[in-house]
Structure 1
Amino acid sequence: MDAISDLNDLRLFAEVVERGSFTAAARSLGLQTSKLSRRVRALEEELGVRLLNRTSRRLSLTETGRQFHQHCLALVAESRAAKELIDRTRSEPQGTVRISCPLGLLSLGIADIVSRYVQENSQVQVLVDATNRRVDVIEEGLDFAIRVRLPPLENTDLAVRQLGRSTLILVASPALALKHEAPASLASLIDWPTVSMADKSERHVWHLTDANGQTASITHTPRLAMDDLASLRVAVLSGVGVALLPKEFVTADIRAGRLIRLLPDLSTTPALVHAIFPTRRGMVPAVRLLLDALVIGLGSVDGIDVI
């Protein structure tokens, strides 16, 4: 037998049994007594059995009706439990949050922010896909993905929340700087070895802007290219070459003297650190509060500008 065509009829039937009459059940449900009676009779006709014995004074369950009623009660209980689950999820942070984040941003503080969030919200589980690839938040079932892109952001049907701004600056090791004359312009770096983020086109160009908005570009052939900021930082610290790295990624190294900033008047256009997610409607507290925690936490990361 196929499933019952309208499962709501099982709830109506259970209410009639619980109230002991169609009139009392109809009053409780906010329905007309005649409509409720028709719905229960239609259920009996669909099942091909009598569930209730009706007299002018009382109702009683048939044996089949009694057994059927137990299943109806179980269904109603599961329905209430499901509703309570949703109510709890909407009222307090709980459940599983699935996010994606570039590897470099994780090491820049997001891993610490997420760890604190999980400690403060014991009913929440956070699953992080640490990857530099472009993810599809809908296809992969993610609550949100964190990205870093130059403005303007591409048009998308997804919702966007901006978390901060990240700027790239030129850095090199002190040992490498001793081997070359201090650069006076971006063009004078042409004789310096470089390291860079990998580019599928294998054409490596740096575009930088000064405080007056004047732009300069340089095309270079890196001695080392890879798709991992942490590994690039290691290469720069080792003196392999000059790199264009996020300011927040190397601020501590500059302060400690492990790296020096070249051409400090130049930097890239600030990239937007942002989260993308399917929709703002119906966002559960666990997701919303994690986004709030990221905004607050990234605001304290040295080198990231708060929006």
Structure 2
Amino acid sequence: MNANFDDIRLFAHTVLHGGISAAAKANNMQRSKVSRRLQALESSLGAELLIRTTRTIELTEAGRNLYESVAKEIYHIEQGVEALQESQQDDTGLLRIAIPSALMTSHAFHSTIVEFSSDFPNVRIEIENHQDSVDLKRHALDLQILPNVVDVADDSYVQFSLVHYASRLVATQEYLKSHPACETLADLKSHRVLSNRYNAELLSPSTPIHLKSDDLHLLQILALQHKGIAFLPDMYLQRSASAAGLIPVLPEVSFPKLSLTMLFPSANTLSKKTRAFIDMFKENIT
């Protein structure tokens, strides 16, 4: 076989990025050159790999078999080379993080960003808001933090639990005095319940959620303004000075604990700056 490895890598990038134009952009090449390289690869293999249409591409059976055989290996090779290069200059480069809204405004995340920026002043940081698991490789993300109730997009990713946390229902005394008594979970049907999407899964499906938002700060503000019963994580309430105006509702009820999970593509190719961010966040979240 006379197939060129660079051509195989371009083929894998074309599939990964969803098209020839996107692959050309990712590799800083002209679209026509990528197209010619793919044609050369097909010629050397004696098989059609891609069915080209005006806007998209489709894999032939041969193309699908080749991609499944080489994609992970090419990714690990590229990550290994990138990690080796970054190891020579760990104080520069880019760190890309995916995190849900509920954590983006948290004290732990803010503290980590401040600490990391101080220790790595020349590292550029990009933070993306994602509520669901994403393909870290395709989006070129270094890591993602999610509650454990979210299904992970790729089981091959490294996953570890950061912290387990409980949640509780809270409201102001004024709200509770002006509304029907809330003595059981069934009584929540008569109240305005405020929750984020993850905590809402812990309540009965029959419980109406008046406001569902991943902005924990917004939920707390509404509760403090007597607008309802908020269902918030304990670790958020404990670090919020404003939470002193809220009292527990149904304190005898114990809800299942959730945990935060950190995901990254491979432990073997983590750069020093990525490892440093992970260690800082673990320290701040506990």
**Residue type matched to 1:273 in 2?**
L
- The alpha carbon displacement at 1:101 in A equals 0.9
Distance 1:272 1:85, change over 3 A: closer
The alignment partner of 2:134 has SS state of coil
Is 1:297 aligned with 2:281? Answer: no
Q: Which residue of 2 aligns with 1:99?
A: 97
Q: Which residue of 2 aligns with 1:279?
A: 266
Of residues 222, 233, 245, the one that matches 1:246 is 233
Q: Which residue of 2 aligns with 1:161?
A: 160
- The alpha carbon displacement at 1:152 in A equals 9.5
- The alpha carbon displacement at 1:284 in A equals 0.9
Contact between 2:222 and 2:228, CA under 8 Å: does it hold in 1?
yes
Contact between 1:195 and 1:223, CA under 8 Å: does it hold in 2?
yes
Q: Which residue of 1 aligns with 2:253?
A: 266
Contact between 1:187 and 1:218, CA under 8 Å: does it hold in 2?
no
**Residue type matched to 1:114 in 2?**
I
Query: Runs of 5+ in structure 2 lacking a partner?
Result: 5-80
Is 1:174 aligned with 2:173? Answer: yes
Count the aligned residue pairs.
Answer: 206
Relative to the length of structure 1, the TM-score reads: 0.58
Between the aligned partners of 1:175 and 1:253, the Cα distance in structure 2 is: 20
Between the aligned partners of 2:123 and 2:192, the Cα distance in structure 1 is: 47
Which residues in structure 2 correspond to 1:1-307 (within 5 Å)? 86=84, 89=87, 92-109=90-107, 110-150=109-149, 156-180=155-179, 182-197=181-196, 206-207=202-203, 217=204, 219-252=206-239, 257-299=244-286
Distance 1:185 1:153, change over 3 A: farther
Range moving further from structure 2, 86-95 or 254-263:
86-95
The alignment partner of 2:256 has SS state of coil
- The alpha carbon displacement at 1:102 in A equals 1.1
**Residue type matched to 1:101 in 2?**
I
- The alpha carbon displacement at 1:86 in A equals 3.6
Aligned-residue CA RMSD (Å)? 3.3
Contact between 1:91 and 1:285, CA under 8 Å: does it hold in 2?
no
Distance 1:84 1:157, change over 3 A: closer
**Residue type matched to 1:287 in 2?**
T
Distance 1:265 1:85, change over 3 A: closer
Equivalent pairs: percent with the same residue?
Answer: 21
CA deviation map 1:173-213 (0-9, x unaligned): 221111246533222333222223359xxxx6644xxxxxx
**Residue type matched to 2:119 in 1?**
E
Distance 1:84 1:155, change over 3 A: closer
**Residue type matched to 2:97 in 1?**
I
Between the aligned partners of 2:194 and 2:159, the Cα distance in structure 1 is: 32
Contact between 1:206 and 1:219, CA under 8 Å: does it hold in 2?
no
* Higher-Rg member (1/2): 1
Distance 1:206 1:190, change over 3 A: farther
Distance 1:105 1:227, change over 3 A: closer
Distance 1:225 1:106, change over 3 A: closer
Between the aligned partners of 2:226 and 2:140, the Cα distance in structure 1 is: 42
Contact between 1:195 and 1:232, CA under 8 Å: does it hold in 2?
yes
CA deviation map 1:24-49 (0-9, x unaligned): xxxxxxxxxxxxxxxxxxxxxxxxxx
Q: Which residue of 2 aligns with 1:72?
A: none
Query: Runs of 5+ in structure 1 lacking a partner?
Result: 6-82, 208-216, 300-307
